[in-house]
Structure formats: C-alpha cells, structure tokens
Structure 1
Amino acid sequence: MIAVNYTTLRENMKSCMDKVTDDYETLIVTRKDNKNVVMISEEAYNNLMENIYVVGNRANYDWLMESKAQLEQGDFSSHELIEVPENE
C-alpha cells in the first residue's frame, strides 16, 4: 500500500497509475480533513466486486465453506482431462 498526497499524485499521475495497475499496489491519496481516496486497478476492483457477490449470498458462502472444509480434510479426487478434438 502506498500513500501520496494530492499534489504528488497530480505531478506523478502516470507513474502512480502504473504502480497501481502493473504492481497491483493500492494507492491512498491523502487529502485535507481526512477525506482520503483509495485508488485500485480495474482488475482488483472487479475481483473485489465478484468476491462480495459470491460471499454475500448465504447459500454460496455455505457451499464454499463446505467445499473448503472437504479440501482441507483431503476429501477430494482428481481426474485426468480428456482432450476433445476441435472439430467436435
């Protein structure tokens, strides 16, 4: 996580945005009166929204937790993938 003030962001917008997108950094823009802003990449934002949606539904959350517990207990199986020709 990186913190910069508004003036520094304005003077270094491209490099700050590159850090956010290329290095997956979260950037906090500090402002007067503690009215700070957080900058994240679109990819990170979309991931966050998907996670909120998935765990926001109680049935989905319970299913994920049950699957996680099964995996941790070794209750799973693996299978070889079957390659299907492109013309099928």
Structure 2
Amino acid sequence: MGLETSSAVASAMRTVNFTQLRQNLAAELDSVTDDAEELVVTRSGHEPVVIVPLANDLIAEIMRNGYIGKPEALRGELSGHYGNR
C-alpha cells in the first residue's frame, strides 16, 4: 500500500499512538470489539499497524481467500475495502 493510500485509510479510522495504547490497552481493545471498528496504532520510526475485531468482514475475507502471506493480493483487497469508505 502506498503512503498516500495508507494516509487516507488511516485518516478514516481512529488513531492512537503506542504510548496511549499501552496506557489504555483494555479500554482500547474493548472499543475495537464493541464498536466493530479498526484502530490504527502509530509508533515513532515504524509503520502504523491496525487492530481489527476478529469478527470483521475484511478479516473473514482475508482468511477465506488465503491472502495471508500474499501481500500484493492483500493490498488490492484492502484498497478496495477502504477506498469505499
């Protein structure tokens, strides 16, 4: 995923930095599952990561289509999923 796409995706999701996540881990995880929404976690000097609820339709699609270990195919799926938000 390119930087421009990553930024657009991240701006559509709630974002916390790693320190905030660490200080409020239980509440943040509850929020992800209760709201069924993704959470972007940023760390200085590292690429951001996304925490998603396991029940998320996107996760089910990734598992069903075997995208794990196939980053190019997954990038296309993610860009289609988040491009429509």
TM-score, reference length from structure 2: 0.53
The aligned amino acid for 1:11 is Q
How far does residue 33 in structure 1 lie from its aligned partner after superposition?
A: 2.1
% identical aligned pairs: 40
Q: Which has the larger radius of gyration?
A: 1
What corresponds to 2:29 in structure 1? 17
Report the alpha carbon displacement of residue 48 of structure 1 after superposing the two structures with TM.
1.9
SS at match of 2:45: helix
Matched, 1:38 2:50: yes
- 1:33-81 C-alpha deviation (Å, 9 max, x unpaired): 242110001111xx32443446x9xxxxxxxxxxxxxxxxxxxxxxxxx
Cα pair distance change 1:49/1:40, threshold 3 Å? closer
Give ranges in structure 1 of 5+ residues lacking alignment.
Answer: 57-88
In structure 1, C-alpha distance between the alignment counterparts of 2:59 and 2:20, rounded to whole Å: 29
Amino acid at match of 1:51: E
Q: CA RMSD in A?
A: 1.9
In the other structure, the counterpart of 1:28 is 40
* Cα distance change, pair 33–18 in 1 and its aligned pair in 2 (3 A): same
Pair 1:48 & 2:46 matched: no
Aligned residues: 53
Larger relative contact order (Cα-Cα within 8 Å, sequence gap ≥ 6): 2
Residue segments in structure 2 that go unaligned for 5+ positions in a row: 1-12, 68-85
Q: Aligned pair 1:6/2:1, yes or no?
A: no
